[in-house]
Amino acid sequence: MIETPEVYRTARQHALDEYPNEACGFVVDGVYVRVGNIHPTPDKEFSLDSSAWMLYGSKASAFIHSHPDWYPCPSEDDMIYQSSSNMPWGIISTDGKDCTPITWGYIVTGK
pTM equals: 0.91
Q: What is the pLDDT of residues 92-109, one digit of tens each?
A: 999 999 999 999 986 655
Q: What is the pLDDT of residues 41-51, one digit of tens each?
A: 999 999 999 99
List of residues 6+ apart from 53 with CB closer than 8 A = none
As beta bridge partners, residue 62 has: 27
Looking only at the bridges linking them, the beta strands covering 89-94 and 60-68 are parallel
DSSP SS3 for 60: strand
